[in-house]
Amino acid sequence: MVKTKKIPLRKSVVSNEQFPKKELLRIVYNKAGEISIDPTGKAAGRGAYIAIKNDEAKQAKQKRIFDRVFQTEIADRFYDELIVYVDHQVERKKLATVTYSIDEAPEI
C-alpha cells in the first residue's frame, strides 16, 4: 500500500481560504518587533500567510491586514515591498509555465 503524503494547508489572512503551504507566502513578526517576508517559511517568530496573488497583496495594504494580525502598526513601506515581491513571484510563476518553440524563442 502506497502512503500518500499529507499536504500541509494554511489559511490566507486576506481571503480566509485554505491553500497548500507551498502556494502561500509567510510574513513573520519577530520578538524584536520587526516584520518581514519569509520566503523559506522557517524564520523565527509569529507567522501569517497570504496567497501569492496580486489582488491579495493589494487588499492586505488597503485593509492593513498585518496591523490587525500582529496587533501593531506597520509602515506603508512594508506593504509596498510586499506588493512588489508578490508581483515578482506571480510573474516568475507565469514564466515557469511558458514554453517556446525553437522558432519563437527570444534572442539571447
Mind listing the pLDDT tens digit for each residue in 71-98?
999 999 999 999 999 999 999 988 888 7
Domain ranges of the chain: 9-97
pTM of the model: 0.82
* Amino acid residing at 29: Y
The confidence score (pLDDT) of residue 105 equals 65
Average pLDDT of 7-12? Answer: 94
Cross-sheet strand order for the sheet of 24-29: 35-38, 24-29, 46-51
Long-range contacts of 61-67 (CB under 8 A, 24+ apart): 63/14, 65/13, 65/14, 66/13, 66/27, 66/29, 66/35
As a whole number of angstroms, the distance between CA 61 and CA 64 comes to 5
The confidence score (pLDDT) of residue 98 equals 73
Fold of 9-97: Hypothetical Cytosolic Protein; Chain: A; (3.30.1230)
The confidence score (pLDDT) of residue 107 equals 67
As a whole number of angstroms, the distance between CA 35 and CA 99 comes to 37
As a whole number of angstroms, the distance between CA 65 and CA 67 comes to 6
Mind listing the pLDDT tens digit for each residue in 10-41?
999 999 999 999 999 999 999 999 999 999 99
Q: End-to-end CA distance of the chain: give it in Å, rounded.
A: 49
Mind listing the pLDDT tens digit for each residue in 45-75?
999 999 999 999 999 999 999 999 999 999 9
